[in-house]
A = this chain, B = another copy of it.
């Protein structure tokens, strides 16, 4: 509740300060610059803005908008590709020392693939691997692979090249007779579902929520608070001060700002989940995790089996 990182307070702070500054400038102007009659006239404006602010159905707009955004955000997370099942099926179909090299190469290529594909989507990953040379430096790519990859022309993207290498390496094993058609099918399915994640993230990156929708929501929210700059001013002409109490701090507006702007920020943060915000998905960590786990599954775990079971039928 009182955490700072990724909290409401952090999200809303700047807007709130800007609001206060503008609010008190207007308040002081009203107080010191206007004469009594002008104050009364100004009160008319305040009332007029008070009524006007009710014309804006903020909660609906935000409710429907954030519902769409949250759904997309979660879908995107679920399209992050994990190599786990691909590595498991490899350990089943291409087991033993004999195929260790194949498995480890595919493990490396799966990380290479992630690094290349996610660089096109995520600012953070791009910062980590700004050029393809960085892939070679971080040992995800050999020099030879770098040459092949660089020589492949791809005006419409070429992030899918490593998946072809994986595929072709598996195909090689099939040609050599290590796996039959059924196993080839099993492996291909998992390679494809690994690939699909990247393709879908590109789709989400390409086709965003229509700009008009985003603008409608942002304009309604900020417009509301601009109207409140006037509409929530204390009425300081004499007649009004007799009728109602005069409070110099816009407490309810502050409160509304907390949740309306906060709600809007939820939407805006989640719209771009691969950016650099606090709540964004940390793809770089996932690359590290996947590199480690894929290697672990390719090597140590691939044939790990407690020995007791070797002696069968001992029940």
Interface of A is mostly: helix
CB distance from A145 to the nearest CB of B (A): 5
Q: Quick one: closest B residue to A59, CB to CB?
A: B57
Q: Are A258 and B48 in contact (CB under 8 A)?
A: no
CB distance from A314 to the nearest CB of B (A): 6
Q: Are B303 and A48 in contact (CB under 8 A)?
A: no
Asked if A19 is at the interface of the complex by the 8 Å CB criterion, the answer is no
Q: Quick one: closest B residue to A77, CB to CB?
A: B207
Asked if A120 is at the interface of the complex by the 8 Å CB criterion, the answer is no
Nearest 10 A-B pairs (CB), nearest first?
A: A44-B245, A57-B59, A181-B182, A52-B252, A8-B215, A59-B60, A216-B262, A168-B305, A156-B289, A63-B64
Interfacial residues of chain A within 244-285, with CB under 8 A of chain B in the complex: 244-245, 247, 251-252, 255-256, 258-259, 262-263, 265-266, 269-270, 279, 281
CB distance from A147 to the nearest CB of B (A): 9
A sample of 25 cross-chain residue pairs with beta-carbon separation below 8 angstroms, ordered by A number, consists of A6-B211, A7-B212, A44-B244, A45-B245, A55-B256, A59-B60, A60-B60, A61-B259, A84-B199, A89-B188, A91-B171, A92-B184, A98-B312, A100-B315, A145-B308, A148-B304, A169-B309, A172-B309, A181-B182, A182-B185, A210-B266, A213-B266, A216-B266, A227-B252, A227-B255
CB distance from A225 to the nearest CB of B (A): 12
CB neighbours (8 Å) of A216 from chain B are 8, 258-259, 262-263, 266
Q: Are A164 and B297 in contact (CB under 8 A)?
A: yes
CB distance from A211 to the nearest CB of B (A): 5
Q: A101-B315, A102-B309, A315-B101 are known contacts. Are A212 and B266 too (CB-CB below 8 A)?
A: yes
Give the number of residues in A that approach B within 8 Å (Cβ atoms). Answer: 126
**Interface-lining segment among A26-34, A66-74, A122-130, A132-140:** A66-74
Q: Quick one: closest B residue to A48, CB to CB?
A: B245
Asked if A20 is at the interface of the complex by the 8 Å CB criterion, the answer is no
CB distance from A144 to the nearest CB of B (A): 5
Asked if A81 is at the interface of the complex by the 8 Å CB criterion, the answer is no
Q: Which of B145, B227, B306 contacts A145 (CB 8 A)?
A: B306
Query: Interface residues, chain A, CB within 8 Å of chain B?
Result: 1, 3, 6-8, 11, 41, 44-45, 47-48, 52, 55-61, 63-64, 66-68, 70, 74, 77-78, 82, 84-85, 88-89, 91-92, 95, 97-98, 100-102, 104-105, 142, 144-145, 148, 152, 154-157, 160-161, 163-165, 167-172, 175, 180-186, 188, 192, 195, 199, 203, 207, 210-213, 215-220, 223, 227, 244-245, 247, 251-252, 255-256, 258-259, 262-263, 265-266, 269-270, 279, 281, 288-289, 292-293, 296-297, 300-309, 312-315
Q: Are A161 and B304 in contact (CB under 8 A)?
A: yes
Which of A74, A78, A192 has the most chain B CB atoms closer than 10 A to its own CB?
A74
CB distance from A34 to the nearest CB of B (A): 14
